[in-house]
Amino acid sequence: MQLSDLLGADAVKVFAHVTSKKRLFQDLADIAEAAYGLNASDTLDALQERESLGPTGVGHGVALPHARLHGLNRVVGVFVRLEKPLDFDAVDRQPVDLVFALFAPKDSGVEHLKALALVSRTMRNPEICIKLRANSAPSALHAVLTEAVGTQAA
């Protein structure tokens, strides 16, 4: 599994200003609907339900929201870079500006975990995060993510 298997070029966006976590989740759901045909309302509900279990802000300005959904046949992702960091209740209490959301089939087992591990490993790489923060073009962000060295899951 590689990030290029999970992340479509049309699922990468840059937002100048997002006012709340709920608004961010709505934006992620809208992108997932446009890029992968997911139902935005169901996706939003699933993201909020997962987030209610505990914040998905993993620290260093990175959030990895994720949800399982009916009607999906593979794991897919959405990446958003926020020009203005958002308070996300992250573990280190730092605002978030890099958001990689994953959506997996409701009954997916190990594939969902492999994808989450792959994204987590990638987003923990300081060099990749620096490149992501230095670019504003969605195509450049997609290239940084999908061409990153070591972005393969076991």
- For 113, half-sphere exposure in the C-beta direction (CA atoms, 13 angstrom radius) is 4
Q: In the annotation, is 66 catalytic?
A: yes
Give the active site residue among 17, 60, 66, 112: 66
Six-digit token string for 49: 């339900």
Give the whole-angstrom CA distance, residue 27 versus residue 16.
12
DSSP secondary structure string, 88-144? ---TT---EEEEEEEEEETT--HHHHHHHHHHHHHHT-HHHHHHHHH---HHHHHHH
Cβ distance 27 to 40 under 8 Å? no
**Residues taking part in catalysis:** 66
